[in-house]
Amino acid sequence: MASVITYAQEDTLHISTDKRDGIVFSRYYVINDSQFMIVHYNKEKNDTIMEDSIPEYYQEHYKREVRIRDIKKKDVSKIDADEVFDYFFGLTEEELLQKLSNKMVAVDLDGSYQVAFFNKFSKKNEVFSFKIWDGKVSRISRPSTNTLPTNDVWTAFQIIQLKEYLGDMEALIQQLRKKYPSSKIKK
């Protein structure tokens, strides 16, 4: 009798999902790093197809999911700037703050969390902004691809916010000059 394989096993990795109009109709899994399983859903029944090897088309999906799984196993202190998106996306706000508990976190005026991560290629810290929506990390961005102006993270956050504030003030002055051209607003 053949052994029963289910996708609830610990060594099963979900690699892809097909949706049509928001309805899932197929899920793709890799089991034991070698077997490939497809589960098709429809109104009448669910079909499962097993293959002994991973089709070539799904090899890249599989490699990407393995990479993400390995990144998520790391401690947050070991995360490089290039791994931030894969590491944090989809976490709840509570999970995010728990993982960032040992890092310096700034809260921006719009309520997003800003944290610096080291970039091993540029040898400097980069700021990442985490936007929360419905209790989950919904957007991760690098407010600037430029690196921080100093290695002191807290000072760097203050400098960045000051630059944004000065930029807003400059834009306001330009608008005033256009609105009141005869005034004595100096350059």
* Judgement on whether residues 67 and 114 belong to the same structural domain of the protein: no
Give the domain range for residue 169.
76-179
**Residues 129, 114: Cα–Cα separation, whole Å:** 4
**Residues 54, 176: Cα–Cα separation, whole Å:** 64
Measured CA to CA in angstroms, residue 95 lies from 5, 47, 92, 103, 164 at distances of 31, 35, 5, 14, 29
* Judgement on whether residues 26 and 89 belong to the same structural domain of the protein: no
* Judgement on whether residues 88 and 162 belong to the same structural domain of the protein: yes
pTM of the predicted model as reported, rounded to 2 decimal places:
0.56
* Judgement on whether residues 68 and 89 belong to the same structural domain of the protein: no
Question: Which parts of the chain are beta strand (E)?
Answer: 12-20, 23-31, 35-41, 46-51, 105-107, 113-119, 124-133, 136-141
* Judgement on whether residues 84 and 17 belong to the same structural domain of the protein: no
Q: For 32-75, how does the pLDDT look when each residue is reduced to its tens digit (9 = 90+)?
A: 777 777 777 777 777 777 778 777 877 888 888 888 888 888 88
Q: For 110-155, how does the pLDDT look when each residue is reduced to its tens digit (9 = 90+)?
A: 788 888 888 888 888 888 889 888 888 888 888 765 555 555 666 7
Indicate the pLDDT class of residue 5, thresholds 50, 70 and 90: very low
* Judgement on whether residues 83 and 54 belong to the same structural domain of the protein: no
* Judgement on whether residues 99 and 16 belong to the same structural domain of the protein: no
* Judgement on whether residues 26 and 57 belong to the same structural domain of the protein: yes
Identify whether 59 is part of a domain.
Answer: yes
Q: For 173-186, how does the pLDDT look when each residue is reduced to its tens digit (9 = 90+)?
A: 888 888 887 766 66
